[in-house]
Amino acid sequence: MRTTLTLDDDVASRLKAEARRTGRPFKEVVNACLRLALSRSHRQRKQPRFEIHPRDVGATRPGLSLDNIGHLLEAAEGPAHR
Protein backbone atom coordinates (compact mmCIF):
# COMPACT_ATOMS: atom_id res chain seq x y z
CA MET A 1 0.00 0.00 0.00
CA ARG A 2 1.32 3.39 -0.87
CA THR A 3 0.75 6.22 1.61
CA THR A 4 2.19 9.56 2.69
CA LEU A 5 3.62 9.70 6.17
CA THR A 6 5.11 12.70 7.97
CA LEU A 7 7.94 11.66 10.30
CA ASP A 8 9.49 13.72 13.05
CA ASP A 9 13.07 14.73 12.20
CA ASP A 10 14.64 12.58 14.92
CA VAL A 11 12.67 9.50 13.82
CA ALA A 12 13.54 10.03 10.15
CA SER A 13 17.23 10.42 11.04
CA ARG A 14 17.25 7.20 13.03
CA LEU A 15 15.47 5.29 10.26
CA LYS A 16 17.86 6.61 7.61
CA ALA A 17 20.85 5.71 9.79
CA GLU A 18 19.48 2.17 10.24
CA ALA A 19 18.94 1.85 6.48
CA ARG A 20 22.55 2.93 5.84
CA ARG A 21 23.90 0.67 8.58
CA THR A 22 22.09 -2.42 7.34
CA GLY A 23 22.16 -1.65 3.62
CA ARG A 24 18.39 -2.21 3.46
CA PRO A 25 15.97 0.10 1.69
CA PHE A 26 14.36 2.84 3.80
CA LYS A 27 10.88 1.41 3.13
CA GLU A 28 11.95 -2.00 4.42
CA VAL A 29 13.44 -0.51 7.59
CA VAL A 30 10.28 1.51 8.29
CA ASN A 31 8.06 -1.56 7.81
CA ALA A 32 10.28 -3.72 10.02
CA CYS A 33 10.28 -1.13 12.81
CA LEU A 34 6.51 -0.70 12.64
CA ARG A 35 5.95 -4.47 12.71
CA LEU A 36 8.20 -4.81 15.73
CA ALA A 37 6.51 -1.98 17.64
CA LEU A 38 3.03 -3.23 16.79
CA SER A 39 3.79 -6.81 17.84
CA ARG A 40 5.22 -5.59 21.17
CA SER A 41 2.20 -3.46 21.96
CA HIS A 42 -0.09 -6.38 21.08
CA ARG A 43 1.80 -8.71 23.43
CA GLN A 44 1.72 -6.17 26.24
CA ARG A 45 -2.06 -5.84 26.01
CA LYS A 46 -2.54 -9.62 26.29
CA GLN A 47 -0.60 -10.00 29.53
CA PRO A 48 -2.85 -10.83 32.46
CA ARG A 49 -3.30 -8.19 35.09
CA PHE A 50 -0.98 -8.65 38.06
CA GLU A 51 -2.92 -8.83 41.31
CA ILE A 52 -1.86 -9.25 44.89
CA HIS A 53 -4.14 -11.17 47.21
CA PRO A 54 -3.43 -10.48 50.89
CA ARG A 55 -3.43 -13.39 53.28
CA ASP A 56 -3.60 -13.51 57.03
CA VAL A 57 -0.36 -14.98 58.38
CA GLY A 58 -1.53 -14.95 61.95
CA ALA A 59 -0.14 -13.14 64.93
CA THR A 60 3.54 -12.30 65.18
CA ARG A 61 5.75 -13.61 67.91
CA PRO A 62 5.65 -11.59 71.11
CA GLY A 63 8.25 -8.83 70.99
CA LEU A 64 8.62 -8.96 67.18
CA SER A 65 7.69 -5.71 65.46
CA LEU A 66 6.87 -5.56 61.74
CA ASP A 67 7.79 -1.86 61.71
CA ASN A 68 11.58 -2.35 61.71
CA ILE A 69 13.05 -4.23 58.74
CA GLY A 70 16.47 -4.45 60.39
CA HIS A 71 15.08 -6.28 63.40
CA LEU A 72 13.02 -8.57 61.16
CA LEU A 73 16.08 -9.51 59.08
CA GLU A 74 18.12 -10.14 62.18
CA ALA A 75 15.37 -12.34 63.63
CA ALA A 76 15.03 -14.31 60.37
CA GLU A 77 18.66 -14.54 59.26
CA GLY A 78 20.72 -13.83 62.35
CA PRO A 79 23.19 -11.02 63.01
CA ALA A 80 25.21 -11.78 59.83
CA HIS A 81 22.37 -10.66 57.49
CA ARG A 82 24.35 -7.60 56.39
C-alpha to C-alpha distance for 73 and 76, rounded to whole angstroms: 5
**Pair 76, 82: CB distance under 8 Å:** no
Q: Confirm whether pTM is higher than 0.75.
A: no
27-64 per-position pLDDT tens digit: 999 999 999 998 886 666 666 778 999 888 788 778 77
Residue 82 confidence (pLDDT)? 65
**Pair 11, 18: CB distance under 8 Å:** no
Residue 71 confidence (pLDDT)? 81
DSSP code string of 42-59: HHHHHSPPP--------P
